[in-house]
Amino acid sequence: MNRILVTGCAGFIGSHLCEELVKNNEVIGIDNFDLFYDKSIKQSNINNLLKHPNFKFLEIDIRSNLVSEIPETIDFIIHLAAKAGVRPSILKAEDYIDVNINGTHSVIKFAIEKNIKKFIFASSSSIYGNNNLIPFCEHHQTDNPVSPYAFTKKSCELMNYSFHHLHQIDFINLRFFTVFGPRQRPDLAIHKFVKAIYNAQPITLYGDGKTYRDYTYVADIVDGIVKAKDYLAANNHVFETINLGNNSPVSLKDLVEEIKKITARNLEIIGLPMQDGDVNYTYANIDKAKKMLGYRPQTSMKSGLAEFVKWYAATQN
């Protein structure tokens, strides 16, 4: 059985990932319950995990002295902890730089000190910026990130290469595309819209509804991460950057229509101009993930949305 360190384990993606990993691995999950959103949400994300014999939780910051906190040997690191969110990163760039860049360096330092050679990093589609070439391929240029959040992710991809080169740590940078599903972060559009509908409040739409996102269901992302871990287990001298998306972008307007249909409720819309840091399009070319990892996303936006609404409704009882 492998032992895997998952950072950001109490978050949206982290909690789903750990639930999958504990089936066949020992998992040490760390999280500092960062106040980006409510601590109680993150605590409830890991409620079931805390009862699992293969799961150990540590409430610590990735920027702390990890070697003194984690004495166990570790086979893989899956590093998800970060300040997420594009818009808030514009107001608090220094926090994003500190947690995302210095925090990632701290986790890499831990890998070096503990001689851990297999490392997965959660990167983001946002690093493609307003690239006009779609769908986005891994070899496209990513030199024009339009938010601090995006440049922290790009910086980490570059930093990872240096430590791969210097310390022979195998890395896979996975660029996630707008992840959704049960437990989705409350700051993200689908969660915000469904919450507004349930509370009979209007929603704010930024832009003309013609921005597109390649919504990717969380179970597909988890499957891609597990496949990347298996790839790292089977191969040495790896440094790869791979898109994990759905290859099927949906416009904001269509997303709202679909939410109205699924919830069978009406919705008042307040239109505002697009916000700084937002991009027009995210659209993943996933050929590399298919070929290298055998990644095949299974869940359409419609059925994933239905799962989200079912989950959201259950949390209201």
Ligand X SMILES: NC(=O)c1ccc[n+]([C@@H]2O[C@H](COP(=O)([O-])OP(=O)(O)OC[C@H]3O[C@@H](n4cnc5c(N)ncnc54)[C@H](O)[C@@H]3O)[C@@H](O)[C@H]2O)c1
**Residues with catalytic annotation?**
149
**To the nearest whole angstrom, how small is the minimum distance from the Cβ of residue 165 to ligand X?**
23
* Residues from 79 through 98 that contact ligand X (CB under 6 A): 80-84
Instruction: Establish how many alpha carbons lie within 13 A of residue 230's alpha carbon, considering only the half-sphere containing its beta carbon.
Output: 13
User: C-alpha 111: how far from its chain's center?
Assistant: 21
Q: Please report the beta strands in the chain, taking only residues with DSSP state E, as ranges in sequence order.
A: 2-7, 25-30, 55-58, 76-79, 118-124, 170-176, 179-180, 203-206, 212-213, 216-217, 239-244, 250-251, 269-272
The reply to whether 32 sits near ligand X by the rule CB under 6 A is: yes
Q: Is 61 in the site for ligand X (CB under 6 A)?
A: yes
Size of the site for ligand X (CB under 6 A): 30
**Residue closer to ligand X, measured from CB, 166 or 300:** 300
Residue span 195-234 as binding mask against ligand X, x where in contact by CB under 6 A, dash where not: ----------------------------------------
12, 151, 212, 295: which one contacts ligand X (CB under 6 A)?
12
Contact between 179 and ligand X by CB under 6 A: the answer reads: yes
Q: Does 142 bind ligand X (CB under 6 A)?
A: no
Task: With H, G, I as helix, E, B as strand and everything else as coil, classify residue 102.
Answer: helix
Give me the phi and psi of 14, to 5 degrees please: -60, -40
Q: Per CB under 6 A, does 13 bind ligand X?
A: yes
Rounded CA separation 3/220 (Å): 22
Residue 17 Cβ vs ligand X, minimum distance, rounded to whole Å: 9
Under the binding rule (CB under 6 A), the answer on residue 136 touching ligand X is no
Query: Nearest Cα to 13, choosing from 42, 54, 33?
Result: 42
Residue 316 CB, nearest distance to ligand X (Å)?
Answer: 20
By CB neighbour count within 10 A (0-12 exposed, 13-18 middle, 19+ buried), where does 116 fall?
Answer: buried
Q: How far is the CB of 264 from ligand X (least distance, A)?
A: 26
Of residues 32 and 131, the one with the C-beta less far from ligand X? 32
Q: Give the per-residue SS3 of 230-281.
A: HHHHHCCCCEEEEEECCCCCEEHHHHHHHHHHHHCCCCCEEEECCCCCCCCE
Contacts with ligand X, residue ranges (CB under 6 A):
7-8, 10-14, 30-34, 36, 42, 61-63, 80-84, 99, 103, 122, 124, 176, 178-179, 185
